[in-house]
Amino acid sequence: MQSSRVLLCSSTNSLSGSAVTPTLASFPRFPAPLSAKIANSTSSSSSSSSIRFQNSPPLRSTASSSSSSNMASQDPRIATISSAIRVIPDFPKPGIMFQDITTLLLDPKAFKDTIDLFVERYRDQNISVVAGVEARGFIFGPPIALAIGAKFVPMRKPKKLPGPVISEEYSLEYGTDKIEMHVGAVQAGERALIIDDLIATGGTLSAAIRLLERVEVQVVECACVIELPELKGRERLGDKALFVLVNGS
């Protein structure tokens, strides 16, 4: 869908070409890494390959950033999704604005739109693995996997998976945690997506990437509903592309 290709051209990557009149030559062909996002995010002027925002909606406690976007009007589904996400202050501790996707799940159309946006992006990309990070990645991953004909691989906290596992440790603010995957769930050479509801610091996602790469799977992209850009998780993903629908800021 040409309009969605326009949306993928954001200022955070090196794609050239104008957001308004794209030429095919200026877009890398998938599966070249596209550190792109469809987001209600701020962006620079339209002279770069980014999208100028107009018509900021009133600030509300949703995951969308303070400015709305041409993207919302180009893809009306983003606005619905963004406004369906509830922000809960001071959870799990003071100072944290928690992005609650459960309210999105209460809106069948918005939930379906969320899945559709991912499916449209990935369906023809020869992806055979959708890995979902426990627990909210289990909500978004399976519907995507089913729609694109891929297997679903749960990535879990320690001691939950019953069979032999491989583990990857990652740092928390204080201490470390681990995620695990079943041995044999994926094969060398498979192309994978990693799904979670949200990327914050990127610790969990980068551990998930390492787990898959250790068994020689090609991680095509990480996909989240929400990004918290101030936490710079995107940078922690190394050369892996990240695709998100909305910013929480």
Catalytic residues: 136, 173
Shortest distance in whole angstroms from residue 153 CB to other proteins: 7
* Minimum CB–partner distance for residue 203 and other proteins (Å): 19
d(CA 243, CA 72) in angstroms, rounded, equals 16
> Which is closer to other proteins, CB of 149 or CB of 239?
149
Contact at 8 Å (CB) between 186 and 130?
A: no
Q: Which residues pair with 224 in a beta bridge?
A: 196, 244
Q: Measured from the CB of residue 6, what is the shortest distance to other proteins in angstroms?
A: 27
Residue 52 or 191 having the CB closest to other proteins: 191
Nearest 10 degrees: Cα torsion 238, 189, 221, 32: 90
Nearest to 157 by CA among 172, 145, 142: 172
- Chain-centroid distance of CA 136 in Å reads 12
Q: Which is nearer to other proteins, 156 or 234 (CB)?
A: 156
Strands 97-100 and 176-182, bridge-based pairing? unpaired
Q: Which of 6, 8, 86, 74 is nearest to 244 (CA)?
A: 8
In terms of CB distance, is 9 or 131 closer to other proteins?
131
**In this complex, which beta carbon is closest to other proteins, that of residue 154 or of residue 229?**
154
Interacting residues with other proteins (CB under 8 A): 86, 88, 91-92, 98, 100, 102, 105-108, 111-112, 115, 134-136, 138-140, 142-143, 145-146, 149-154, 156, 159-163, 182, 185
Query: What is the smallest separation between the CB atom of 5 and other proteins, expressed in angstroms?
Result: 26
Q: CB-based contacts of 56: which residues, under 8 Å, 6+ apart? A: 66, 67, 68
What does the DSSP 8-state code read for residue 230? Answer: G
Find, among 49, 45, 42, 91, the residue nearest to 64 by Cα. Answer: 42
Least CB distance to other proteins at residue 167 (A) = 16
